[in-house]
Structure 1
Amino acid sequence: MRLKKYTDYALRVLIFTAAKKEGQLANKKEISEVFNISENHLGKIIHELNKLELIHTVRGRSGGIKLAHKPEDINIGKVVRSMEDDFYLLECFDCQTNECVITPACKLRHVLKDALQAFFQVLDGYTLEDLVSNRDELRALMQLS
Protein backbone atom coordinates (compact mmCIF):
# COMPACT_ATOMS: atom_id res chain seq x y z
CA MET A 1 0.00 0.00 0.00
CA ARG A 2 1.24 3.44 -0.81
CA LEU A 3 -0.18 6.78 0.21
CA LYS A 4 -0.12 9.73 -2.15
CA LYS A 5 2.41 12.51 -1.62
CA TYR A 6 -0.61 14.74 -1.07
CA THR A 7 -1.44 12.78 2.09
CA ASP A 8 2.21 12.72 3.17
CA TYR A 9 2.46 16.49 2.77
CA ALA A 10 -0.83 17.04 4.60
CA LEU A 11 0.52 15.07 7.55
CA ARG A 12 3.74 17.12 7.42
CA VAL A 13 1.72 20.36 7.49
CA LEU A 14 -0.15 19.12 10.56
CA ILE A 15 3.06 17.97 12.27
CA PHE A 16 4.82 21.24 11.50
CA THR A 17 1.86 23.28 12.77
CA ALA A 18 1.53 21.18 15.92
CA ALA A 19 5.26 21.47 16.62
CA LYS A 20 5.11 25.27 16.70
CA LYS A 21 5.19 26.89 20.12
CA GLU A 22 1.87 27.76 21.73
CA GLY A 23 0.31 30.75 20.01
CA GLN A 24 2.70 30.76 17.03
CA LEU A 25 1.23 30.47 13.55
CA ALA A 26 2.80 28.38 10.83
CA ASN A 27 3.01 29.76 7.32
CA LYS A 28 3.18 28.27 3.87
CA LYS A 29 6.59 29.77 3.06
CA GLU A 30 8.37 28.26 6.07
CA ILE A 31 6.71 24.86 5.58
CA SER A 32 7.76 24.98 1.93
CA GLU A 33 11.36 25.74 2.87
CA VAL A 34 11.61 23.09 5.58
CA PHE A 35 10.16 20.25 3.50
CA ASN A 36 11.18 21.48 0.02
CA ILE A 37 7.58 21.42 -1.24
CA SER A 38 6.29 24.01 -3.68
CA GLU A 39 4.21 26.74 -2.09
CA ASN A 40 1.62 26.32 -4.81
CA HIS A 41 1.15 22.63 -3.96
CA LEU A 42 1.08 23.44 -0.25
CA GLY A 43 -1.63 26.03 -0.90
CA LYS A 44 -3.90 23.29 -2.24
CA ILE A 45 -3.17 21.05 0.73
CA ILE A 46 -3.72 23.85 3.24
CA HIS A 47 -7.00 24.70 1.51
CA GLU A 48 -8.12 21.06 1.82
CA LEU A 49 -7.07 20.83 5.48
CA ASN A 50 -9.01 24.04 6.13
CA LYS A 51 -12.11 22.63 4.38
CA LEU A 52 -11.80 19.50 6.53
CA GLU A 53 -11.68 21.80 9.58
CA LEU A 54 -8.34 20.40 10.71
CA ILE A 55 -6.68 23.82 10.54
CA HIS A 56 -7.77 27.44 10.56
CA THR A 57 -6.22 29.99 8.28
CA VAL A 58 -5.55 33.50 9.50
CA ARG A 59 -5.39 36.12 6.76
CA GLY A 60 -3.29 39.20 6.72
CA ARG A 61 0.29 40.26 6.87
CA SER A 62 1.05 38.34 10.04
CA GLY A 63 -1.34 35.51 9.16
CA GLY A 64 -0.72 31.84 8.82
CA ILE A 65 -2.26 28.60 9.90
CA LYS A 66 -3.06 27.01 13.22
CA LEU A 67 -4.65 23.76 14.25
CA ALA A 68 -8.43 23.82 14.54
CA HIS A 69 -8.30 21.26 17.35
CA LYS A 70 -5.90 20.12 20.02
CA PRO A 71 -3.33 17.65 18.62
CA GLU A 72 -4.73 14.91 20.84
CA ASP A 73 -8.11 15.34 19.14
CA ILE A 74 -6.82 14.88 15.57
CA ASN A 75 -6.90 11.19 14.64
CA ILE A 76 -4.32 10.07 12.09
CA GLY A 77 -6.54 7.37 10.58
CA LYS A 78 -9.27 9.92 9.96
CA VAL A 79 -6.79 12.32 8.35
CA VAL A 80 -5.48 9.64 6.00
CA ARG A 81 -9.00 8.54 5.03
CA SER A 82 -9.92 12.17 4.32
CA MET A 83 -6.88 12.88 2.15
CA GLU A 84 -6.95 9.73 0.01
CA ASP A 85 -9.64 9.35 -2.63
CA ASP A 86 -9.63 5.55 -2.82
CA PHE A 87 -8.11 2.47 -1.27
CA TYR A 88 -8.35 0.13 -4.22
CA LEU A 89 -5.36 -2.11 -3.66
CA LEU A 90 -6.24 -4.26 -6.65
CA GLU A 91 -8.55 -4.07 -9.63
CA CYS A 92 -11.09 -6.30 -7.84
CA PHE A 93 -11.58 -3.64 -5.15
CA ASP A 94 -13.31 -1.43 -7.72
CA CYS A 95 -16.55 -3.07 -8.84
CA GLN A 96 -16.92 -0.69 -11.79
CA THR A 97 -13.58 -1.44 -13.45
CA ASN A 98 -12.98 -5.02 -12.33
CA GLU A 99 -12.42 -7.31 -15.30
CA CYS A 100 -10.60 -10.10 -13.49
CA VAL A 101 -12.22 -13.45 -14.30
CA ILE A 102 -11.27 -15.15 -11.02
CA THR A 103 -12.83 -12.52 -8.73
CA PRO A 104 -15.81 -14.71 -7.71
CA ALA A 105 -13.48 -17.44 -6.36
CA CYS A 106 -10.38 -15.42 -5.46
CA LYS A 107 -9.35 -15.22 -1.81
CA LEU A 108 -6.70 -12.52 -2.32
CA ARG A 109 -9.22 -9.68 -2.23
CA HIS A 110 -10.43 -10.81 1.20
CA VAL A 111 -6.89 -11.13 2.55
CA LEU A 112 -6.01 -7.62 1.35
CA LYS A 113 -9.27 -6.23 2.68
CA ASP A 114 -8.32 -7.64 6.12
CA ALA A 115 -4.84 -6.13 5.76
CA LEU A 116 -6.33 -2.73 4.90
CA GLN A 117 -8.58 -2.91 7.95
CA ALA A 118 -5.56 -3.77 10.12
CA PHE A 119 -3.67 -0.80 8.61
CA PHE A 120 -6.45 1.58 9.58
CA GLN A 121 -6.89 -0.02 12.97
CA VAL A 122 -3.27 0.89 13.71
CA LEU A 123 -3.61 4.44 12.34
CA ASP A 124 -6.83 4.94 14.30
CA GLY A 125 -4.85 4.27 17.47
CA TYR A 126 -2.71 7.40 16.96
CA THR A 127 -3.33 11.11 17.21
CA LEU A 128 -1.33 14.08 16.03
CA GLU A 129 -0.13 14.47 19.62
CA ASP A 130 1.51 11.05 19.39
CA LEU A 131 3.41 12.24 16.31
CA VAL A 132 4.68 15.43 17.95
CA SER A 133 5.33 14.24 21.49
CA ASN A 134 9.04 14.93 20.74
CA ARG A 135 8.40 18.61 19.89
CA ASP A 136 11.82 19.84 20.97
CA GLU A 137 13.58 17.40 18.65
CA LEU A 138 11.21 18.21 15.79
CA ARG A 139 11.69 21.96 16.32
CA ALA A 140 15.46 21.52 16.20
CA LEU A 141 15.32 19.51 12.98
CA MET A 142 12.93 22.01 11.38
CA GLN A 143 15.00 24.90 12.76
CA LEU A 144 12.05 26.43 14.60
CA SER A 145 12.68 28.80 17.47
Structure 2
Amino acid sequence: MRLTQRTDYTLRVLMYCAACEGRAKLPTVSEIAEAHGISRSHLMKIVMDLAGLGWLETTRGRGGGLRLLKAPGSLSLGEIVRQTETDMDMVECFDKHLNTCRLDGFCRLKGIVKKASRGFIEALNAYTVADLLEPTAAARGFKGQLPHLIPLEKHEKKTGALS
Protein backbone atom coordinates (compact mmCIF):
# COMPACT_ATOMS: atom_id res chain seq x y z
CA MET A 1 0.00 0.00 0.00
CA ARG A 2 1.31 3.42 -0.88
CA LEU A 3 -0.29 6.64 0.28
CA THR A 4 -0.62 9.47 -2.20
CA GLN A 5 1.20 12.76 -1.84
CA ARG A 6 -2.17 14.35 -1.05
CA THR A 7 -2.59 12.14 2.03
CA ASP A 8 1.00 12.82 3.06
CA TYR A 9 0.43 16.58 2.84
CA THR A 10 -2.89 16.28 4.64
CA LEU A 11 -1.16 14.55 7.54
CA ARG A 12 1.56 17.22 7.58
CA VAL A 13 -1.02 20.02 7.80
CA LEU A 14 -2.92 18.30 10.61
CA MET A 15 0.29 17.52 12.52
CA TYR A 16 1.62 21.05 12.11
CA CYS A 17 -1.63 22.58 13.35
CA ALA A 18 -1.70 20.16 16.29
CA ALA A 19 1.90 21.02 17.18
CA CYS A 20 0.99 24.72 17.13
CA GLU A 21 -2.01 24.41 19.46
CA GLY A 22 -1.77 27.00 22.18
CA ARG A 23 0.49 29.22 20.10
CA ALA A 24 -0.62 32.88 20.08
CA LYS A 25 -0.15 33.23 16.31
CA LEU A 26 -2.09 30.68 14.28
CA PRO A 27 -0.11 28.75 11.67
CA THR A 28 -0.78 29.78 8.07
CA VAL A 29 -0.82 27.93 4.78
CA SER A 30 2.27 29.88 3.71
CA GLU A 31 4.12 28.95 6.91
CA ILE A 32 3.35 25.24 6.51
CA ALA A 33 4.18 25.31 2.79
CA GLU A 34 7.54 26.92 3.52
CA ALA A 35 8.32 24.58 6.44
CA HIS A 36 7.75 21.51 4.26
CA GLY A 37 8.80 22.83 0.86
CA ILE A 38 5.31 22.29 -0.57
CA SER A 39 3.52 24.41 -3.17
CA ARG A 40 1.29 26.94 -1.40
CA SER A 41 -1.49 26.58 -4.00
CA HIS A 42 -1.46 22.79 -3.69
CA LEU A 43 -1.61 23.06 0.10
CA MET A 44 -4.47 25.57 -0.13
CA LYS A 45 -6.65 22.96 -1.88
CA ILE A 46 -5.92 20.44 0.85
CA VAL A 47 -6.69 22.99 3.58
CA MET A 48 -10.03 23.78 1.93
CA ASP A 49 -10.88 20.07 1.85
CA LEU A 50 -9.97 19.72 5.54
CA ALA A 51 -12.18 22.70 6.36
CA GLY A 52 -15.00 21.08 4.38
CA LEU A 53 -14.60 17.91 6.46
CA GLY A 54 -14.96 19.99 9.63
CA TRP A 55 -11.45 19.19 10.83
CA LEU A 56 -9.91 22.63 10.31
CA GLU A 57 -11.05 26.22 10.72
CA THR A 58 -9.57 28.81 8.41
CA THR A 59 -9.52 32.51 9.23
CA ARG A 60 -8.49 35.07 6.63
CA GLY A 61 -6.74 38.36 7.12
CA ARG A 62 -4.40 39.78 9.70
CA GLY A 63 -4.20 37.46 12.69
CA GLY A 64 -5.80 34.70 10.66
CA GLY A 65 -4.59 31.20 10.09
CA LEU A 66 -5.50 27.58 10.67
CA ARG A 67 -6.90 25.92 13.77
CA LEU A 68 -7.92 22.33 14.38
CA LEU A 69 -11.62 21.96 15.13
CA LYS A 70 -11.12 18.47 16.54
CA ALA A 71 -8.69 17.36 19.20
CA PRO A 72 -5.60 15.67 17.67
CA GLY A 73 -6.45 12.59 19.75
CA SER A 74 -9.81 12.27 18.00
CA LEU A 75 -8.48 12.40 14.43
CA SER A 76 -8.02 8.74 13.48
CA LEU A 77 -5.38 8.00 10.85
CA GLY A 78 -7.68 5.41 9.30
CA GLU A 79 -10.43 8.02 8.82
CA ILE A 80 -7.95 10.52 7.39
CA VAL A 81 -6.71 7.97 4.85
CA ARG A 82 -10.28 6.94 3.93
CA GLN A 83 -11.20 10.59 3.32
CA THR A 84 -8.09 11.55 1.35
CA GLU A 85 -7.26 8.48 -0.73
CA THR A 86 -9.42 8.59 -3.83
CA ASP A 87 -8.48 5.17 -5.20
CA MET A 88 -8.24 2.29 -2.77
CA ASP A 89 -8.63 -0.19 -5.65
CA MET A 90 -5.39 -2.11 -5.34
CA VAL A 91 -6.00 -4.31 -8.38
CA GLU A 92 -7.99 -3.90 -11.58
CA CYS A 93 -10.70 -6.38 -10.62
CA PHE A 94 -11.86 -4.11 -7.75
CA ASP A 95 -13.43 -1.75 -10.32
CA LYS A 96 -16.29 -3.43 -12.15
CA HIS A 97 -16.20 -0.77 -14.91
CA LEU A 98 -12.48 -1.11 -15.69
CA ASN A 99 -12.07 -4.81 -15.00
CA THR A 100 -10.87 -6.77 -18.03
CA CYS A 101 -9.34 -9.64 -16.05
CA ARG A 102 -10.40 -12.98 -17.52
CA LEU A 103 -9.79 -14.68 -14.17
CA ASP A 104 -12.28 -12.53 -12.26
CA GLY A 105 -14.51 -14.78 -10.24
CA PHE A 106 -12.05 -17.67 -10.43
CA CYS A 107 -9.05 -16.03 -8.72
CA ARG A 108 -8.68 -15.48 -4.96
CA LEU A 109 -6.42 -12.43 -5.29
CA LYS A 110 -9.30 -9.94 -5.07
CA GLY A 111 -10.51 -11.30 -1.72
CA ILE A 112 -7.01 -11.52 -0.27
CA VAL A 113 -6.12 -7.96 -1.25
CA LYS A 114 -9.45 -6.63 0.08
CA LYS A 115 -8.75 -8.33 3.40
CA ALA A 116 -5.25 -6.84 3.48
CA SER A 117 -6.63 -3.37 2.67
CA ARG A 118 -9.15 -3.64 5.51
CA GLY A 119 -6.33 -4.71 7.83
CA PHE A 120 -4.27 -1.71 6.75
CA ILE A 121 -7.09 0.72 7.61
CA GLU A 122 -7.84 -1.12 10.87
CA ALA A 123 -4.18 -0.79 11.88
CA LEU A 124 -4.30 2.95 11.12
CA ASN A 125 -7.52 3.27 13.16
CA ALA A 126 -5.48 2.42 16.25
CA TYR A 127 -3.56 5.71 15.92
CA THR A 128 -4.42 9.40 15.88
CA VAL A 129 -2.74 12.64 14.87
CA ALA A 130 -1.74 13.06 18.53
CA ASP A 131 0.18 9.76 18.31
CA LEU A 132 2.19 11.15 15.39
CA LEU A 133 3.48 13.98 17.57
CA GLU A 134 5.03 11.70 20.18
CA PRO A 135 8.83 11.72 19.88
CA THR A 136 10.43 8.64 18.35
CA ALA A 137 13.23 6.80 20.11
CA ALA A 138 15.72 8.50 17.77
CA ALA A 139 14.35 11.96 18.59
CA ARG A 140 14.41 11.29 22.35
CA GLY A 141 18.09 10.42 22.09
CA PHE A 142 18.95 13.48 19.98
CA LYS A 143 20.97 15.98 22.03
CA GLY A 144 20.85 18.94 19.62
CA GLN A 145 17.95 21.19 18.70
CA LEU A 146 15.75 20.77 15.66
CA PRO A 147 14.48 24.36 15.39
CA HIS A 148 13.12 23.96 11.87
CA LEU A 149 10.78 21.24 13.15
CA ILE A 150 9.57 23.07 16.24
CA PRO A 151 6.78 25.66 15.82
CA LEU A 152 8.18 29.13 16.46
CA GLU A 153 6.86 29.90 19.94
CA LYS A 154 7.72 26.48 21.33
CA HIS A 155 11.26 26.98 20.03
CA GLU A 156 11.44 30.41 21.68
CA LYS A 157 10.43 28.90 25.03
CA LYS A 158 13.05 26.16 24.76
CA THR A 159 15.93 28.38 23.67
CA GLY A 160 14.91 31.70 25.20
CA ALA A 161 15.56 33.53 21.92
CA LEU A 162 14.66 33.65 18.30
CA SER A 163 17.13 32.05 15.96
TM-score class, shorter-chain normalisation, is: over 0.9
Higher alpha-carbon Rg: 2
Offset of 1:86 from its aligned partner?
2.1
Distance 1:129 1:143 in 2: 15
Tell me, what secondary structure is at the counterpart of 1:66?
A: strand
Aligned to 1:18: 18
Identity among equivalent pairs (%): 37
SS at match of 1:65: strand
> Which letter maps to 1:3?
L
Normalising by structure 2, report the TM-score.
0.82
Amino acid at match of 2:12: R
Aligned to 1:117: 118
Give the structure 2 partner of residue 62 of structure 1.
63
Native 8 Å contact 2:20 2:27 kept in 1: yes
Unpaired runs of 5+ residues, structure 2, are: 141-145, 153-163
The separation in 2 between residues aligned to 1:77 and 1:141, in whole angstroms, is 28
Structure 1 stretches of 4+ with a deviation exceeding 6 A read none
Which residue does 1:51 correspond to in 2? 52
SS of 1:32's equivalent? helix
Query: Secondary structure in 1 aligned to 2:63?
Result: coil
TM-superposed CA distance for 1:21, in Å, is 4.1
Give the structure 2 partner of residue 4 of structure 1: 4
Distance 1:143 1:133 in 2: 13
Task: In structure 1, list runs of 5 or more residues that go unmatched.
Answer: none
Structure 1 match to 2:149: 142
**What number of residue pairs does the alignment pair up?**
144
Q: Partners of 1:93 and 1:29 in 2: how far apart?
A: 39
Residues 73 and 143 (structure 1), Cα distance of their counterparts in 2 relative to 1, 3 Å cut: closer
Whether the aligned pair in 1 keeps the contact of 2:78 and 2:124 (CA below 8 Å) is: yes
Q: Deviations over 1:91-112 (max 9, x none)?
A: 0010111010001110111111
Provide TM-score, normalisation by structure 1: 0.92
